[in-house]
Amino acid sequence: MKFKSIRIALFLLFFVGIGIFADDGMDWIGSFSSKELEMSDETENQDTVYYLWQLESLKKNIAPRYIRYLDVESYVSTGKLIHRGILFTYNGLREEAVEICGSFNHWECSEMKRNQYGIYYTVIEPTQITDNYEEDPVYEYKFRVNGLLTYDPENFDKLEDGSGSYYSRFILENTDTDRQTKTMVLEDSANEERDLRTVKFQIYLPNAEVVRVVGSFNDWNPEHDFLKKDRKGVFTLEKKLLPGEYHYQFIVDGEYMLDTYNPTTNIKVDTNESVSSLLVPERNYALERKM
């Protein structure tokens, strides 16, 4: 089964690769292209996507920037081909170990991957939030090189850290639309409760007008739960649910459909139709904060 999934992923990669990504990839063959990684355009551009092997081919460290990259190896386990995040790099050709520590990981250092040219890199998902549960665009960080902390030499945005040195800062101005967005159980939200979990129903449908969700949690009633559409075409709804397994469908402008990027489905007994399935696990940690 795993081999079959890998073959499917490679098949998708081939056809995607000869499409919108092919021209971008050619500029990378055999060399580093800083021009292709520059994403300073303020307008949203969702056409530039890199391959994981391009990160493995970086020959110099660069300033942090938001990127999209395609990772076939993780497709089987995650169900996602395109990943998004902030790329951090460090030239560690002569270094034994390089880690990154920042506001996004509570200043607990995490390992960076070293490529064949001695460039350490990591991609951090842009999920940082403030104490008020709003998106936090300011990412502060340092590198720990062979046990010693230092700022990013390629990033001109740095501030004094109060101990005679500096920490680097990256401000995430824009993120693009995750077209593979799917329903998920949130780890943390503004109104967490001990016995309930927050489920975020979401789906990318830029051309739709009205989206509702029906399921075993609301007796399949189409009048209960409407999703809200943002400017990028993503419909979302956060709902509190008890731990357990739930079946559901979206109603898109009157038409029933499965959750596009949720691979888990089941059969609704009374209608014998396919429905999406979601397992809401019990909380295995204590709540650290609550509004």
Q: Average pLDDT, whole number, for the chain?
A: 79
Residues 68 and 161 in one domain: yes
- pLDDT tens per residue across all 291 residues of the chain: 545 454 544 444 444 443 334 344 333 333 334 345 433 343 335 557 788 888 888 988 999 998 888 887 776 666 667 788 899 999 988 888 999 999 998 899 999 999 989 999 999 988 887 776 677 899 999 999 999 999 999 999 999 999 889 999 999 887 666 666 788 888 765 566 777 888 999 998 888 999 999 999 999 999 999 999 988 788 999 999 999 999 999 999 999 999 988 888 888 888 888 999 999 988 765 555 444
Which pLDDT does position 191 carry in this prediction?
A: 61
Single residue among 118, 136, 171 that ends a domain in this structure:
171
Residues 102 and 192 in one domain: no
From residue 247, alpha-carbon distances to 199, 221, 253, 283 in Å are 13, 13, 20, 20
Residue 4 forms part of a structural domain: no
Which pLDDT does position 159 carry in this prediction?
A: 95
Residues 88 and 189 in one domain: no
Count: domains in the chain: 2
Residue 17 forms part of a structural domain: no
Residues 39 and 164 in one domain: yes
Those residues with Cβ within 8 angstroms of residue 155's Cβ, 6 or more apart along the chain or in another chain: 63, 64, 168, 169, 170
Single residue among 171, 196, 216 that ends a domain in this structure:
171
Those residues with Cβ within 8 angstroms of residue 197's Cβ, 6 or more apart along the chain or in another chain: 185, 186, 240, 241, 242, 243, 280, 281, 283
Residues 148 and 271 in one domain: no
Residue 213 forms part of a structural domain: yes
225 with 250: CB under 8 angstroms? no
Residue 148 forms part of a structural domain: yes
Residue 18 forms part of a structural domain: no
Residues 118 and 200 in one domain: no
Nearest residue to 241 (alpha-carbon basis) of 189, 185, 183, 181: 185
Residues 51 and 162 in one domain: yes
**Could you tell me how many helices (H) and strands (E) the chain has, helices first?**
5, 20
Residues 159 and 189 in one domain: no
Residue 205 forms part of a structural domain: yes
**What range defines the domain where residue 45 resides?**
34-171
Residues 125 and 209 in one domain: no
CA–CA distance, 128 with 213 (Å, rounded to integer) = 27
pLDDT digits (tens, 9 = 90+) for 247-256: 999 999 999 9
Helix (H) or strand (E) holding 170: strand 166-171
CA count, 13 A, side-chain hemisphere, 40: 4
Single residue among 105, 138, 171 that ends a domain in this structure:
171
Residue 286 forms part of a structural domain: no
From residue 74, alpha-carbon distances to 44, 172, 173, 193, 261 in Å are 26, 25, 27, 32, 15
CATH code for the domain of 221: 2.60.40.10
Whether the predicted model's global pTM rises above the 0.75 cut:
no
Residues 91 and 192 in one domain: no
Residues 167 and 243 in one domain: no
Residues 166 and 244 in one domain: no
Which pLDDT does position 28 carry in this prediction?
A: 38
Residue 288 forms part of a structural domain: no
